[in-house]
Amino acid sequence: MSRNPRPHLSLLRVAACTGALALALTACGSGSGAGSSKSGSGGVKVGLITKTDTNPFFVKMKEGAERSAKENGAQLLTAAGKFDGDNAGQVTAIENMVASGVKGILITPSDSKAIVPALAKARAKGVLVIALDTPTEPQSAVDALFATDNLKAGELIGEYAKAAMKGKKAKIATLDLAPGVSVGVQRHDGFLKGFGVGAKDPSVVCSQDTAGDQTKGQTAMENCLQKEPGINVVYTINEPAALGAYTALKAKGREKDVLIVSVDGGCTGTKAVKDGKIAATSQQYPLKMAAEGVKAVVSYAKDGKKASGYTDTGVTLITDKAQSGVDAKDTAYGLDNCWG
């Protein structure tokens, strides 16, 4: 959820498909930027709806769904909003997929609250609905949630940063996502918990929102340095924000004496850990989220038993500078399992 919003052309494709229902999902094909596409033939129909279809995180998620659909003899239909936040596009995709006869829908909701009525209609028709990566509000609006434990992801980098500081007095900047977004709140709170400080601890000297964007991350870091030049620890909501912070610190000649920690585990971010720009990151696994989701829908089609509750799809601390008492894998492992 913390992924960068990236505009694309999918709305036009979604619009072209709207109203044609099942035939639309077939006719739209799988071209670049498609609002909907289909792979495989026959078997259980499974729908995958992501926030966008260009963000590397969702590209990897789609790859996992396609692979799992092939392995399980399922037919995969996919769709995406034209931008991160395109609730209307996702609602249209849900309606089209239900009309086409999907047995289950996997969705990364762009708007965790606004999507709920459309999901309720799908569930009322017997469709299994599983949220991937981002929970709905309330979480009970879906049958199940397959996602990273974002609190734990933050906690891991908090513990790492605390250990890496080796008792040195910390001046912390937090570069966050946006107010009220659950994933961002959980990662932020997890970092503070792992570092062992409260939200109002005086060691937290600056907090800025970045929307998970690299340019905004740079601006946020510049603002924090102006407020408190002695910052020596930076928490970031994701790796683009971390790289923005690194650019701002480098401009001040501070890139080597400020500890940056982050979350995501994208390939670019993991390479930044290897290059020493980011000290550590918590890696998550979108491919696994989608693969497990497809399997759950196929299982539901076979025995009628619906997946339920929350499934943790795992998170791993990635660093080449391991700290005593903090479990981690190196960047060789991270690059073998990164996304993007």
| Partners of 79 in the β-ladder | 36, 49
Q: Which residues neighbour 163 within 8 Å (Cβ) at sequence distance 6 or greater?
A: 323, 324, 325, 326
Burial 136-151 (b: 16+ CB within 10 A, else e): bbeeebbbbbbbbbbb
Mean pLDDT by 10 residues, the chain (340 residues): 37 30 30 48 89 89 96 97 91 98 96 95 98 93 97 98 97 92 90 96 97 95 98 97 98 97 97 98 96 97 96 97 97 95
Q: In what order do the strands lie in the sheet with 75-80?
A: 36-39, 75-80, 45-50, 104-107, 128-132, 144-147, 309-312
pLDDT reported for residue 20: 29
pLDDT reported for residue 226: 98
CB 241, CB 216: distance < 8 Å: yes
pLDDT reported for residue 6: 33
Domains of the chain in sequence order: 45-147+285-307 (3.40.50.2300), 150-283+317-337 (3.40.50.2300)
pLDDT reported for residue 40: 58
pLDDT reported for residue 2: 43
> What are the structure tokens assigned to 146, written together?
């397959």
CB 339, CB 275: distance < 8 Å: no
Q: Which amino acid is at 111?
A: D
pLDDT reported for residue 178: 87
Q: Strand 233-236 vs strand 280-283: parallel, antiparallel, or unpaired? A: unpaired
pTM of the model: 0.81
Return the beta strands (E) in the chain as ranges: 36-39, 45-50, 75-80, 104-107, 128-132, 144-147, 172-176, 204-209, 233-236, 259-264, 280-283, 309-312, 316-318
| Partners of 78 in the β-ladder | 37, 48
Task: Give the distance, in angstroms, between the CA of residue 113 and the centroid of all CA atoms in the same chain.
Answer: 17
> What are the structure tokens assigned to 35, written together?
């609002």
